[in-house]
Amino acid sequence: MASFGWGLVYGGTSVGLMGATADAALSGGAEVIGVLPQALQEREIAHRGLTKLHLVGSMHERKALMASLSDAFIALPGGYGTLDEFFEIVTWAQLNVHSKPCILINTDGYYDFLLRFLDHAVREEFVRPANLRLMQVATDSAEALQWIDQQREKASLNQTVSAQDIGGLASP
């Protein structure tokens, strides 16, 4: 990431895969911006070594700010929070809120069952085939970053992401 001259925008924690990713990006000289709800900072999981840490009032504000600061979205293997944030940003692409790359990193087949479920949702006509193509699948981070590099000229926000777009509360 740092070798491309790119920074990282993420949830701002010091734990898990994203905490390790932030540490690696910082070690490589990249700018790393965290966006963390105040309530999570109080649980003492905020990363203290970031270039910038934005504290926000809610998860809705977090998602909107992260979207506005980002040029692309990558999901590493994760749990409910990862899936929530990734599918919300893919939904925003479906609604033409943005046209930025959305990439799922399928490390060692971690997301194979999820991808089969999405294919099933297409067959059952709950997801349009064109909307399934709103996300790309990479086998590792190198492939994801290479794909973003090839697509970055196309990435842009179609409009400013606002609290109204996501049904959340307005920022103070």
What 3-state class would DSSP assign to 25? helix
State the amino acid at position 172 in one-letter form. P
Per-residue pLDDT averaged across 128-144, rounded?
A: 95
Beta strands in the chain (DSSP E): 8-10, 32-37, 52-56, 73-75, 102-105, 135-138
Better-scored residue on pLDDT, 47 or 4: 47
Per-residue pLDDT averaged across 133-162, rounded?
A: 77
In a domain, 132, yes or no: yes
Per DSSP, what are the bridge partners of residue 105? 138
Q: Based on the domain organization, do 66 and 90 belong to the same domain? A: no
Per-residue pLDDT averaged across 25-48, rounded?
A: 89
Count of structural domains within the chain: 2
> Which strands, in side-by-side order, build the sheet including 73-75?
73-75, 102-105, 135-138
Q: Based on the domain organization, do 87 and 34 belong to the same domain? A: no
Instruction: Tell me the torsion sign for CA atoms 101, 1, 77, 107.
Output: positive
In a domain, 46, yes or no: yes
Q: How much is the pLDDT for 84?
A: 95
Residues in contact with 58: Cβ distance below 8 Å, sequence separation at least 6, in sequence order: 37, 168, 169
The model's pLDDT over 81-122, given as tens digits with 9 standing for 90+, comes to 999 999 999 999 999 999 899 999 999 999 999 999 999 999
The model's pLDDT over 27-36, given as tens digits with 9 standing for 90+, comes to 999 999 999 9
Number of other residues whose CB lies within 10 A of the CB of residue 97: 20
Q: How much is the pLDDT for 3?
A: 82
Per-residue pLDDT at 160 exceeds 60:
no
Separate counts of helices (H) and strands (E) for the chain: 8, 6
Q: Based on the domain organization, do 65 and 77 belong to the same domain? A: no
Q: How much is the pLDDT for 150?
A: 83
d(CA 35, CA 119): 32
For residue 53, the 8-state DSSP code is E
Lowest mean pLDDT among 23-27, 114-118, 135-139, 161-165: 161-165
Q: How much is the pLDDT for 44?
A: 66
Q: Based on the domain organization, do 89 and 26 belong to the same domain? A: no
Per DSSP, what are the bridge partners of residue 34? 10, 53
d(CA 63, CA 171): 12
In a domain, 168, yes or no: no
Q: What CATH code is carried by the domain that includes residue 123?
A: 3.40.50.450
- Taking Cα atoms as reference points, which of 130, 46, 124 lies closest to residue 90? 130
In a domain, 106, yes or no: yes
Q: Based on the domain organization, do 90 and 48 belong to the same domain? A: no
Q: Which two tokens stand for residue 63?
A: 């998602």
Which residues form the domain of 88?
72-159
Residues in contact with 80: Cβ distance below 8 Å, sequence separation at least 6, in sequence order: none
In a domain, 164, yes or no: no
